[in-house]
Amino acid sequence: MAGLDWHNNWHVLEAKGRSRSVSTVEVLRAKNQAGRVNSIYGLVPDTTSASVVRLFTNPISVLLDDPDDENQTDTHWEIDPQTFVRLYYAPIKQYLEILGTETYNLQNLEFDVAQFSDDYMIGLLSTFRTQDVVTQEWTRLMQDIKALIGTNELQSLGLGLDGIVLLPSRLFREEII
pLDDT value, residue 177 = 43
Note the pLDDT tens digit of each residue in 114-153.
998 888 889 998 888 877 666 667 677 777 777 776 665 5
Average pLDDT, integer, range 95-109: 88
Note the pLDDT tens digit of each residue in 5-54.
767 788 888 888 777 887 888 888 888 888 888 888 888 999 888 888 88
pTM strictly above 0.85: no
CA distances from 1 to 23, 126, 143 (A): 22, 27, 24
User: Does the pLDDT of residue 162 top 50, yes or no?
Assistant: yes
What is the dihedral sign for C-alpha 17, 22, 26, 31?
positive
Distance CA 22, CA 56 (A): 10
Distance CA 161, CA 134 (A): 14
Cβ-contact 62, 27 below 8 angstroms: no
Q: Where are the domains of the chain?
A: 2-77, 81-176
